[in-house]
Structure 1
């Protein structure tokens, strides 16, 4: 029940956050207007918000912003279009038609054209008002297209072009804010365009320049001035490899395009371009993220070595930070005597018996308070009966003293709880530093240019069997078997808490994440420790945990890594070895924990058997050991099926069952 209420609270908080984002974003975008008093960016935002409460929040924000930035007639027009868009989206919300990406943009553009057309026909000069209306309609559709990719991103990743369009729309809202006749909004837009062109390359630079220039022309009422200037500037900046040269090329390209213009804003645009170029140069280096390096040729050996050195140094720094935190002693627990000291300071200092209690009979007073301490700490509240009779009868301000003690006790307990949480956070952070150090070290080792050699890759055959718990349609256990590019054989078995779909989701997520780590050549222990910390955070929300059993075969060396997993078995002829562990499952410990590790030799003709705890109770698995010792076949799939069928006969499928068997082929059967 506690986890359910926490999930509901998080869901409600997420909804309020989404509604707030749509409300304030749409309200801000109403300040970005085109000729004729249209606010196409706000209308596009309403369309992209979709049906239901999200769309209603965006509509309310648009109307609020319109009341602040538009004339009353324009407010009515925006409200009418917004209501029509929201009504149509809500009416078709459960249809496949609305899921098509072009529907909402076309719908929004059509609504603007329909409502705006009415106002155009009623105007004194319809021909002069038709072009702004058509431009606003097209811009509304374009805005809805880009904003939809922000509000409803694919693969949980925000589209960079959508972010660029949103940034441009918000900067244009500051277009009327000027300093020395220079538009602050267009200065920011120049810096944004220079950054985008320099970071993304020529194609994106010229496309973004033309698009942003066209939007700026529509907003400023100019005829092609900004389109030409920004298009040429974006292309020139994208051609440069150094940022200083890119800033100079951006200004030069814009200046060259402005030489042929007779617009009054040409000179102003020149100053805005200068200011935008300087702002682009002032951007911190870290926001570029090394993306330009990725577009250039692959790094040579010297660059690879330098990168490896940097990664190793970063790993050493994180390891040193971890060691320094380990050397720092934890904070000492606060003495409960502070409760009485502070309470007495408030109550006893002005009392007539202060000298008697705290000087002449100090020992008796100290013993009385000391004897009462265990009771009030256990109960969380002080009562008169906690104190000796001689002390309670003599104290003439006992009720005031109890009130003061309870106040200080509450503060003491809160400070104690805070210190424990702080120490838990400190341990977690310390462990994360160590894990990051291990991961960076592993990444640096992967830059050597060649895959690590583990000797001859053994030829193996895998067998597996899986059955859900009685009465369930889905098994909560998940198994994986694969070989990495570096030649490691990896067998995974994860058992999610409980059974059914919920357990299946947890176990499959654990296997998928761990497989990604291993296929990236991250060391198994570092991968498992990192996974344990991540799943602990997830477990705090879901209340779930998962056992993990991993077997890694490297040459003839098999290593078993266990987090709460059932025993594994090694069979060679009639001899059976049982491999166990005592670590808790992943997701149960917030502090970084290492798995139990056992390394054995897997000779040719040997079997490695992994099971989930539903197959055999670890306290009474003699039957399984006897079965393995007496089995003389060489087919791992037959062995897996045999183990599962015998388990069903004995355990009656009281839990999910998973069996995975690895058989290393004898030398005589090795492929040529």
Structure 2
């Protein structure tokens, strides 16, 4: 009823237009609709003539059942009725015409019922109606086992035709965002074309040359040339069986077409001419095998003519055929994912090697050291008593009393940190002829002892830091191994869709499409000729094809292209920096980069002091930290590892850096700020500004187990801003002016805001240190 009302509305609109303008203008949508109706009519007329077993023709009924109750179904019904009456004759044709009319009536009656939308309803209804009308008409002739088998096959093909024909028309009858066909749609379209070949096989030229067999041979050659042995054999068997069913005889054509398809597929890499020759010669051999049963000589002429047409087909059309049948074995997405994780582990190893190289030049072998308290007086005796005239009396004859005197003095010396004459017994002080010199030397050795103990404590602490680094390394590799063992989900549908598109473009490459551990789409292409896919227009086409925004990953090889799912958020950054007055370089270093997983990292480090030494320290911290983060190491692990490494370097070269690390997930807006002794950071959400501080020491000073950075979690949205500064911007003074300046920022230019902050800092006397301001503003793509 809805279709009827729609037709009435359109007719009324045309009458009104004719009355107002005096003419009727057919617009483009109307012309397209008329063309679709004409196609349905022609398809119905042709499919009505598609027969199997010499008289069974269910395919026209299948088209009516698949076309529905609207204008498409009515046009298909007219074409089917015309075809059955023209090709089957009045007696046989009336049976199928009646079935087709009943099928259209069922579709019209049940159109508004929910049952009609079930995928099985119309196939079952069409098969039942065909069975009812066929049973009445065929019962007069009597039933034999052969006729029962043929009749049952007709019913199955009638229901199957409704099901698959409806799928074949979905690219035109339904609104689709995808540009390529699914596997089910491709199979259904091939079934429609195969059904048409059954009709065309009855159309002959020059007496015995079948148009359908000629077209089938050309199609098998094209499929075998672009798809190889497997596709050629499959197409040959399918087309050959159709021709045998139409002829109602033995499966000769299935054998001939399948053999020819296999041989053409064998030589498909040698060019079109080689594939065509292989097809023609193998077909001629198949004909010779039927010598005793009467050779199918017309098949030779049909194949020769088909080979000529095949050689003349343009390469663009053959690429489209290849896009439909391409099923070459591709490297599994899971295997590609393992290669991806392997690359991350290799990057991690390279980062640790870089760390080792930076430390190897500063660490020296540890010298033997003595921390025993007894060594204080042993070393003093070597310096003072060795040349004394009373040496034998004190250290041999009266050794016990000397030993007791020194032991009595040692606790007070250790408690005080130095000794004086009153710490020693009177009998020892009165007897020693060089007593003052002895006490002075003992104090020097005691100070050396305390320094050695402090050094050994620091050494033990740093060795513990090395052990913790091994633990961090084990954790990093463990996470990578867990990721390697995780089930990364391949997307076979998009992978096949992309393979069809690239094949149609003449690109042959290995393809893998899968979702990473965060659930984001990742596509890897490897092969020649990928440079044109890096262009903006091609990337936009691929994004529409995949129904996901795509951007290029960090892969730099010319023969490999990595595409990752684009993030809904993007960041605009602005930075301004100025060195300390009187210096030529700044000790501040910053960097920002985006990882393939959609994380944005912003680094800002302030080296100890000013000048080139400070620049070296901050640049080293940024370089190592960036390398760890790019390798996929978690920020907490990377920061602790870096801090411990800088502490080890501090044994020989005192140096440290403050670190600000900002990480933002551009898919969700979730983020974190990590701080090692850095100046406050500021976050603007709406019109409010919050201040983020920390209490951790700078990296390189925070040894021991308390070396974790301060961490603050953020939840950002489009329009929010983050400001990172070094301590020279405020010079230890108040920062209310920074908050006011950030609160008044409307997002016009982050770089102008950073420069304005530095200018105002100079006005407030901030030229005594290096100064850097970095502003980040989130926007939606």
Query: Shorter-chain-normalised TM-score: which range?
Result: 0.3 to 0.5
Structure number, greater radius of gyration: 2
